[in-house]
Amino acid sequence: MLNRRTLLGASAGAAALSFPVFAFGQAQATDKRLLVVILRGGMDGLSAVPAVGDPAFASLRGRLALPRTLALDDTFAMHPSLPKMHGLYRAGELLPIHACATAYRERSHFDAQNVLETGASAPFARTEGWLNKALGALPRARPEMGMALSAQAPLILRGATPVATWSPSGLPDVNADTMSRLLSLYEARDPALANALESAMSANTVAMESGADDMSGRAGRNIVPMAQIAARFLKDDSGPIAAVMETTGWDTHANQGVEQGALARNLTQLDSGLDAFKTEMGAEWRNTVVIIATEFGRTAAPNGAGGTDHGTGAVAFLAGGAVQGGRVLADWPGLSSGALYEGRDLRPTTDLRAVFKGVLADHMRISAAALERDAFPESASIRATRDLVRA
């Protein structure tokens, strides 16, 4: 029997098994690339990017105030578990965005993630993701313009624009002939299954070439190999121009730790994942923007269990060779008790849609009209942030 590698090797000359790249040859793909990393659960922004220069910071944070940080500017610093990202900041390739939020002002994960990913002003107002809509506004130069590094496309990538999905497998390799027979059966009976199978065959070609078939079962909690695969897909000549990765475990209600602990481990993962992605992108890093965002921030003060609860103002990051970084983007509201939102959360002063629109407009060159009409309807009053990327 054939394994997947021989299947895909053999398929190079067989149109039935290979992706119909030729059909999309006319449209010229942009050389810009975008990776979106969603931190699910609500990252504690005041731990990741503490406002150590704010006079209220130390007393407000109490036992969660970091004794040692990596300096950014007079007001802000970074968690010691983010050394690589701190290096990017110093190289001008990282832009932390503080006190930011979606349009959502309550505290449900599911609602907040829904708003983060649909770009709408209220939860469950739309069923398609803003990245899917934005990619739909570009000339369709690739069979699948977007890709999810997960078994299912997250909401941000769902919609009419075809997207691919890929994740590592621990199951035995498949028989090429069986798959091609099933594809014929699906083509006759079930177009949705046919599209999915065809797309999976194509994604596996790229993954095989990057040696990803060796990762079975090891992906687990380590985002480094996934970040490397994401880079391989984004670099591939017929691959997606935007990809989405997700990490979980940011919902630190109890015992989140300070310099060490659950949150620090998550930050270390994020830091090494981004570093591995940069290395793997190589020369293409200069054409790349990485958006790292979470659904909401957490309460400014610790709770009674050594953790933080669902809050509002959050931290996001832009990273990449195309990013005009080396500064913190924040209209800082302050942490005095009068400044806090509802007396408990960091007050949001930057709308994340402004940041997303800025990246899509200036980096991906998506027209303002398409952004207002498709990706972020009803956001005309939220102006795209300029100067996020290098000219």
- 111 vs 284, which CB is nearer to another protein? 111
For residue 370, the minimal CB distance to another protein (Å) is 24
Pair 294, 62: CB distance under 8 Å: no
Q: Give the strand order in the sheet containing 314-319.
A: 163-165, 146-148, 242-247, 33-39, 288-294, 314-319, 94-101, 350-351
320 to each of 71, 86, 270, 289, 315, how far by Cα in Å? 20, 13, 14, 5, 17
> What is the DSSP track for 28-77?
PPPS-EEEEEEETT---HHHHS--TTSTTHHHHHGGGS-SS-EE-SSS-E
Q: Does 253 bind another protein (CB under 8 A)?
A: yes
Q: Does 121 bind another protein (CB under 8 A)?
A: no
Q: Does 184 bind another protein (CB under 8 A)?
A: yes
Q: Does 205 bind another protein (CB under 8 A)?
A: no
Q: Does 169 bind another protein (CB under 8 A)?
A: yes
Residue 200 CA to residue 312 CA, distance in Å, equals: 38
Mark the segment that binds another protein (CB under 8 A) among 80-88, 201-209, 266-274, 346-354.
201-209
Q: Does 20 bind another protein (CB under 8 A)?
A: no
For residue 218, the minimal CB distance to another protein (Å) is 12
Tell me the residue type at 154. P
Q: Which of 24, 92, 186, 235 binds another protein (CB under 8 A)?
A: 186
Mark the segment that binds another protein (CB under 8 A) among 20-28, 79-87, 247-255, 360-368.
247-255
Tell me the residue type at 107. R
Residue 332 CA to residue 328 CA, distance in Å, equals: 10
- Rounded to 5 degrees, φ, ψ at 319 are -140, 155
CA angle, 293 then 262 then 169, to 5°: 70
Q: Which of 6, 255, 279, 337 binds another protein (CB under 8 A)?
A: 255
For residue 170, the minimal CB distance to another protein (Å) is 5
Q: Does 178 bind another protein (CB under 8 A)?
A: yes
Q: Does 108 bind another protein (CB under 8 A)?
A: yes
For residue 250, the minimal CB distance to another protein (Å) is 12
Q: Which of 69, 165, 238, 272 binds another protein (CB under 8 A)?
A: 165
Mark the segment that binds another protein (CB under 8 A) among 81-89, 143-151, 229-237, 314-322.
143-151
Q: Which of 217, 237, 343, 369 binds another protein (CB under 8 A)?
A: 217
> What is the DSSP track for 328-378?
-B------STTTSBTTTBPPP-EEHHHHHHHHHHHTS---HHHIIIIISTT
- 76 vs 250, which CB is nearer to another protein? 250
Q: Does 148 bind another protein (CB under 8 A)?
A: yes
Residue 137 CA to residue 21 CA, distance in Å, equals: 20
Pair 245, 223: CB distance under 8 Å: yes
Residues 276-315 that bind another protein (CB under 8 A): 303-306, 309-310
Mark the segment that binds another protein (CB under 8 A) among 109-117, 226-234, 279-287, 361-369.
109-117
Which residues, 6 or more positions from 192, have their beta carbon under 8 angstroms from its beta carbon? none
Chain-centre distance of CA 46, in angstroms? 20
Residues within the interface to another protein (CB under 8 A): 106-111, 123-124, 148, 150-153, 158, 164-167, 169-175, 177-179, 181-182, 184-186, 188-190, 192-193, 195-201, 203-204, 217, 248, 253-255, 257, 260-262, 303-306, 309-310
